[in-house]
Amino acid sequence: MSNGYRAGTIAIVGRPNVGKSTLLNQLVGQKISITSRKPQTTRQRITGILTRDDAQLVFVDTPGFQTQHRGAMTRIMNRSVTQSLQEIDVVLWVIEAMKCNDLDAALYRQLPRTVPLMLAINKIDLLADRKTLLPFIKELHERFQPDAIVPLAAQKNLQLDELLKTIIPRLPEGPPLFEADEITTASERFMAAELIREKLFRLLGDELPYATAVEIERFETLNNLRRIYASVIVDKASQKAIVIGKGGEKLKAVGTQARKDMEQLFGGKVYLEVWVKVKSGWADSAATLKRLGFDV
């Protein structure tokens, strides 16, 4: 690799529902982190890799720092945020335009002071008057003193090139950390579970209980066909009926949409079976959380 090449790790942090996963997907150019309008969609760290001629950027999408829910899963997610801030080269802190609150301030206190801090103001496309951004940017500069502030709209792919221009010079010089064709460190098994979970969020909305998870029980590959058997885990029997829906229509729609996304991501045919299991207290069970892939 020629001199001047840069490669490093960037932690994407922010409170729930500010658009971290959408930003990661747009930067990498592929859906690798699930998105929904429901807060706390991301529960585990997701790595997205962007390789360019001049640099390789390894983004780590973290769960939104959570204070609303308590229990083992929440503690693990918050610890994931803290761990993601260790051994990184840049912090990319995402704040929603015109919305800086006590949760943002609490997260700021968790950020390391030893690496550059990039502040991305997301969702500027939703502002009626962008002139209101100027005093907001001034306030953020004075309050948090980041190394750079970039207003952007991840959903519209607006100002993302400008964001990259601010990050790359702050990465250390060195060879790529991953092969050029790699876009994530996540396994296909993990991605399959995430895509099913995304469809649950999107199709059930506010009906979806917080204590819902997806477990891949079998994942088989035969030539270009993947056979995937997954269970949706809920906390109560009453929640099972919500996920299944009348005549099974909700669960069927979840499976159909998830399968289509999997086929696009994996580049081959997918046979998918999804059912629902009731496991009371699963979100506070270390054994269950470990089986679901959490770093217990």
Q: How confident is the model at residue 1 (pLDDT cuts 50, 70, 90)?
A: very low
Do residues 116 and 91 lie in contact, with contact meaning Cβ atoms separated by under 8 Å?
Answer: yes
Whether the pLDDT of residue 72 is over 70: the answer is no
Please write down the HEC assignment for all residues of the chain: CCCCCEEEEEEEECCCCCCHHHHHHHHHCCCCCCCCCCCCCCCCCEEEEEECCCEEEEEEECCCCCCCCCCHHHHHHHHHHHHHCCCCCEEEEEEECCECCHHHHHHHCCCCCCCCEEEEEECHHHCCCHHHHHHHHHHHHHHHCCCEEEECEHHHCECHHHHHHHHHHHCCECCCCCCCCCCECCCHHHHHHHHHHHHHHHHHHHHCCCCEEEEEEEEEEECCEEEEEEEEEECCHHHHHHHHCHHHHHHHHHHHHHHHHHHHHHCCEEEEEEEEEECCCHHHCHHHHHHCCCCC
Contacts 24+ apart (CB under 8 A), 126-129: 126/97, 126/153, 127/97, 127/98
pLDDT digits (tens, 9 = 90+) for 211-255: 678 899 999 999 889 999 999 988 888 888 888 989 999 999 999
Residues 65-69 have a mean pLDDT of 45
Q: How confident is the model at residue 82 (pLDDT cuts 50, 70, 90)?
A: low
**36-40, 127-131, 229-233: segment of lowest average pLDDT:** 36-40
pLDDT digits (tens, 9 = 90+) for 255-280: 999 999 999 888 899 999 999 998 87
User: Of residues 4 and 16, which shows the higher confidence score?
Assistant: 4
**74-78, 88-92, 162-166, 245-249: segment of lowest average pLDDT:** 74-78
Residues 288-294 have a mean pLDDT of 55
205: nearest Cα among 63, 31, 41: 41
The average confidence (pLDDT) of the chain is 83
Residues 46-66 have a mean pLDDT of 82
Q: How confident is the model at residue 69 (pLDDT cuts 50, 70, 90)?
A: very low
Whether the pLDDT of residue 68 is over 50: the answer is no
Whether the pLDDT of residue 162 is over 90: the answer is yes
Return d(Cα 24, Cα 11) in angstroms, integer: 10
Residue found under tokens 């529902």: 17
Percent of the chain, pLDDT > 70? 80
Residues 27-52 have a mean pLDDT of 71
- The encoded tokens of residue 266 equal 């994996």
- pTM summary value: 0.72
For the chain, the first-to-last Cα distance in angstroms comes to 38
Do residues 289 and 76 lie in contact, with contact meaning Cβ atoms separated by under 8 Å?
Answer: yes
Evaluate the CA torsion angle 263, 266, 269, 273 in order and state its sign. negative
Q: For the chain, how big is the Rg over CA atoms in Å?
A: 20
Return d(Cα 146, Cα 172) in angstroms, integer: 19
